[in-house]
Amino acid sequence: MADGVGDYIVGLFAREDDLLLALREEADRSGLPPIAISPDAGRLLQLLIAAIGARRILEVGTLGGYSAIWMARALPPDGRLLTLEREPAHAAFARRFLQRAGLDDRVTVRVGAALELLPALDGEAFDLVFLDADKAPLPTYLEWALRLLRPGGIVVADNALRGGRVLDAAATDPDTEGVREFNRRLAADPRLTSILVPTHDGVAIGVLGVR
């Protein structure tokens, strides 16, 4: 939502502080792709974390740590965020900024491909799982999220609109198909209360039923 409404919402509810601004500037200079979540998505994640008193968060797709910093700032001091990242250079950048943010005690960056790291987490229980890595395997990431979430936990996915490509029947690339199938499953799963919120690029949210 790069428009007047989006700017109004971000200006009121989701202002970035100097550290988040510096992170994005340095990420640009370092050649990291400019694909961190939007500030309104960061604020929405904080709201969800606060609403359910989340203490254990799993993120898939760290990049430079921008979304991890938004989320970790909403955690209590004993809260923990584990974030998975395939690219060692992205992980190193993120670790540096998490330290600058004073959040390195709360956040662990684990390097590897998500589908190789997720099996080691089997048996753990997370309050919130944020999916923001590659899009083609999103249906599989959803299965993992539902396996790793506690009842009442929340799964969130960024880029749920893919710049509008999910609406375009001619867009059949594996990434768009992955997002579409994820959205269909999220919407239809009887265990979930779900919605797609039209932030900047769409944030899909599902709450796992307690029953």
CA distances (Å), origin 74, targets 60, 65, 152, 163, 190: 18, 14, 18, 28, 29
SS3 of 45, please? helix
Q: Residue 139 in contact with residue 178, Cβ under 8 Å?
A: yes
- Strand 56-60, strand 80-85: pairing: parallel
**Closest distance of CB 82 from ligand DHB, Å:** 18
Residue whose C-beta lies closest to ligand DHB: 35
- Residue 182: strand pairing partners: none
114 binds ligand SAH (CB under 6 A): yes
Question: Could you say whether residue 132 binds ligand DHB (CB under 6 A)?
Answer: yes
Helix residue ranges per DSSP H, the chain = 4-13, 18-29, 39-52, 66-72, 88-100, 114-117, 138-148, 174-188
Restricted to residues 141-160, the positions that interact with Mg ion (CB under 5 A) are 158-159
Amino acid, single-letter form, for residue 121: L
Candidate residues 20, 36, 101, 131; the one interacting with ligand SAH per rule CB under 6 A: 36
87, interface contact from Mg ion, ligand DHB, ligand SAH, none, CB < 5-8 Å by kind: ligand SAH
In the complex, the smallest distance separating the C-beta of residue 151 from ligand SAH, rounded to whole angstroms, is 25
Residues 154-173 binding ligand DHB (CB under 6 A) are: 158-159
The residues that touch ligand SAH, with contacts defined as CB under 6 A, are 35-37, 61-64, 66-67, 84-87, 90, 113-114, 132-134
The footprint of ligand DHB (CB under 6 A) covers 35, 61, 132, 158-159
